[in-house]
Amino acid sequence: MGEAIRVMFARIADRYDLGNTVLSFGVHWLWKWQLVRLCDPQPHLRWLDCATGTGDIAFLAARATGTPQTIVGIDFCAPMLERARRRAQAKQMPIQFQQADVLQLPFSDNTFDRATIAFGIRNVDDPPKALKEMARVVRPGGIVGILEFGQPSGLIAPLYRWYSRWLLPRIGGWISGDRRAYEYLQHSAWHFPSGSEFLKLMDTSQAFAHSEARPLFGGIAFLYRGIVQ
């Protein structure tokens, strides 16, 4: 599945940022900022953002810490990274962006203080292994933060299910020219473990001394934080 996902993201890279903003009505920026704040940003923290895409979390982490030279963003999709590097140049932020796979990170143990991944963990072949790799490169007591879609409950659930099933693929396809990509993204979001089920995945990785989940917008998305043991 990994290569197919890489090719899919390469196809939509040029319109990916616009698609995220339109489809979420801009709310994805609030969620991403909450992820960064959940990780307790401080100056000079060594911060790794995995599946960084065009660099949203990396730029927010740089803003929150005030030290962009300590931020590293990795992604397995070269066209996404090309956009991230252009954005870094335009913002004059010396963030390091490099191509790498979260399942096999090219860093030594305890290299970073924080590691994050936003809307990317469901796209890897082995999520517990990815979590374990992220924890491996973070020092003991450091934080791994995750932002991912969930399955909302209550009154919001039918409306969101209708929107994500019928409107999201159509609008995403219109923006990007690739409706199949957004059909996959919608399907994967609805079927990926969330809340307490995702915490079980974190436990399976055996990498965290403590983990917690916080629902956003009634469970449309979730924030997760793990303290590396």
Query: What pLDDT score does 29 carry?
Result: 97
Inside any domain, residue 67: yes
Q: Is there a domain that residue 138 lies in?
A: yes
pLDDT at 185: 87
Structural domain includes residue 178: no
Backbone conformation region of residue 164, classed left if phi is above 0, alpha if psi is from -120 to 50, else beta? alpha
Other Cβ atoms within 10 Å of 6 Cβ, number: 18
The sheet carrying 71-75 orders its strands as 96-99, 71-75, 47-50, 112-118, 138-149, 221-228, 208-216
Q: What is the pLDDT of residue 1?
A: 58
* Residues contacting 57, CB < 8 A, separation 6+: 32, 35, 36, 49, 73, 116, 118
On whether residue 24 sits in a domain, the answer given is: yes
The CATH number assigned to the domain holding 92 equals: 3.40.50.150
SS3 content of the chain, % helix, strand, coil (to 5): 55, 20, 25
CB 71 within 8 A of CB 44: no
Q: For position 155, what pLDDT does the model report?
A: 84
Q: Which stretch of DSSP H or E encloses residue 82?
A: helix 78-91
> Would residue 167 count as lying in a domain?
no
- Domain interval for residue 10: 2-150+193-228
Specify the pLDDT at position 153: 85
Per the listing, tokens 């801009």 go with 26
pLDDT tens sequence across 148-195: 999 998 888 999 989 999 899 999 999 999 999 899 888 899 899 999
Within a domain: 75: yes
How many other CB atoms are found less than 10 A from the CB of residue 28? 18
Residue-level pLDDT, tens digit, the chain, 229 residues: 578 898 999 999 999 999 999 999 999 999 999 999 999 999 999 999 999 999 999 999 999 999 999 999 999 999 999 999 999 999 999 999 999 999 999 999 999 999 999 999 999 999 999 999 999 999 999 999 999 999 998 888 999 989 999 899 999 999 999 999 899 888 899 899 999 999 999 999 999 999 999 999 999 999 999 999 9
From the CB of residue 140, how many other CB atoms can be counted at a distance below 10 Å? 11
Q: How many domains does the chain have?
A: 1
User: Is position 108 within any domain?
Assistant: yes
Q: Is residue 182 part of a domain?
A: no
Predicted pLDDT at 2? 78
